[in-house]
Homo-oligomer: A and B are copies of this chain.
């Protein structure tokens, strides 16, 4: 995939997939549903309060809305029902509507009735690269607060999975820090060194990993050359990994607000894409995220 516009176009031509929307009884969520169906990237089943959905739809006019509603009157119930729809194969993907993230994820991670029993959930944002063609992946800016070393490796594995689907055979991963040198006062630089060496020894497959690298040296070949960094990844990173949510959140929001880039995002757990947009995302960004999840599930099949 060269860019997000191309992603959207491809998804419009793929066999249609179905999305279970948990807690869809909310104007902003239904607006996204309307747009999804209008541009033809998926079909939706709406779990939520029937009356409320019908009332909101008087303005939106989603077609055949009655057939699409699965009545539900609590957050917990709407999360469980949406999970069940994916589990029994009625729908392909689950999407978070207007309910608390914790309740939504609890249903997904439930040992008995959930969708994911092992591994780790992590969020991946995708946007156009600064230099050259292709898409940049950035992870994890939203789910894991302060991942441990082993959690970081799971985050990397999830991102490699998505990168391969997007078209990178062996993605180059930069582990971001404030510096390029290992510093015992900066624990994230220690983790970066360990993970880089693990990848070199073949303990992490299908990726070339290097870190610590500062952002400029990860994404700009000129900056990397200026600093004299010898690395297969520097200046050419396909995946950027941050070491915690503060670093990730501020970077992602800077890319969205200061750099005004279009961003798609998806949560991956056990190969399953989960659509979890944030209220502050633009409609366009939400649609791109849905397209990314549909693309992911289509390529898996």
Contacts and interface: CB of A to CB of B under 8 A. Distances in A.
Contacts of A244: 246
Contact of A250 (B145, B227, B250): B250
A32 interface: no
A27 to B, nearest CB: 13
Nearest to A185: B145
A249 B215 CA distance: 8
A286 to B, nearest CB: 13
A216 B258 contact: no
A280 B246 contact: no
B215 A246 contact: no
A23 to B, nearest CB: 18
A253 interface: yes
- Of A130, A178, A223, A226, the most chain B CB neighbours within 10 A belong to A178
A188 B246 contact: yes
Interface residues of A, number: 42
B245 A178 contact: yes
A280 B177 contact: no
Nearest to A243: B246
A255 interface: yes
Interface string A231-257: 000000000001111111111011111
A219 interface: yes
B186 A145 contact: yes
Q: Which 6 A-B pairs have the closest CB atoms?
A: A178-B249, A258-B259, A215-B253, A259-B259, A254-B254, A178-B245
Given A141-B178, A179-B249, A214-B249, 10 more contacts: A130-B257, A145-B183, A186-B245, A186-B246, A214-B250, A215-B249, A215-B250, A216-B256, A227-B280, A259-B259
